[in-house]
Amino acid sequence: MFQVLSDDGIVYGIARIWADIHIASPLSVTVISGYIIWALVLMKTLPGPVVEGPVTPNGNVPRYRDNGFACFLVTMISFGLLTVLLPRWSGGYSVTVVYDRFDEFLGTLTVFAHLLCVFLYVKGQLRSLRFLFIFVTFYVLLNLQCFDAVDWAAGRTSGL
């Protein structure tokens, strides 16, 4: 990156670097969508005790299935299996594909996050509170149960 910036200057160098990033590439969209579907399937199918969340201002009491640790274990075991099986099945891909193409994944996640924010803003303006409540509950539940466990494990196994 330093070489590009020193050869082309800061403005043209940054433009050249950004031109090489493929936002919403088919691979990144497929991997991210696959992981979201994977997390949803785990969240809905793995057993766990049902607990009640706090009462909302509208009087709703969300019910959660406490299966986050089970999601974590199944995801880590599946990751280990994919480490061995993915290169055989995919013709060369490995589990490091997210790291290898981090710019594509970061760009895709950034665009998705902005679209999600615009979508939630519009839904909030339209006063569709039931849909918004269900969507936010789903997002929080998914975030707490599956993604944080994977992030925690990734930080622990990488020596951070």
Residue 75 predicted with pLDDT over 50: yes
Residue, of 151 and 28, whose pLDDT is higher: 28
**Residue 30 counted as domain residue:** yes
Asked if the structure places residue 121 within a domain, the reply is yes
Would residue 10 count as lying in a domain? no
Q: Is residue 134 part of a domain?
A: yes
Which among 32, 34, 38, 99 has a CA at the least distance from the CA of 72?
38
Q: Does residue 119 lie in a domain region? A: yes
80-133 pLDDT tens trace:
998 988 888 877 788 888 888 888 888 888 888 888 888 888 777 776 555 556
> Token pair for residue 152?
């925690």
pLDDT for 49 equals: 93
Q: How many domains does the chain have?
A: 1
Domain range for 140 is 22-157
Assess if residue 1 is contained within a domain.
no
| pLDDT score, position 156 | 47
Residue 8, judged by CB atoms within 10 A of its CB (0-12, 13-18, 19+), counts as: middle
Instruction: Tell me whether residue 14 is in a domain.
Output: no
Q: Where do runs of H (alpha helix) occur along 46-128?
A: 68-90, 97-100, 102-125
3-55 residue pLDDT tens: 777 887 888 877 877 777 778 888 899 988 998 899 989 988 999 999 998 99
Q: What is the pTM of this model?
A: 0.64
In a domain, 9, yes or no: no
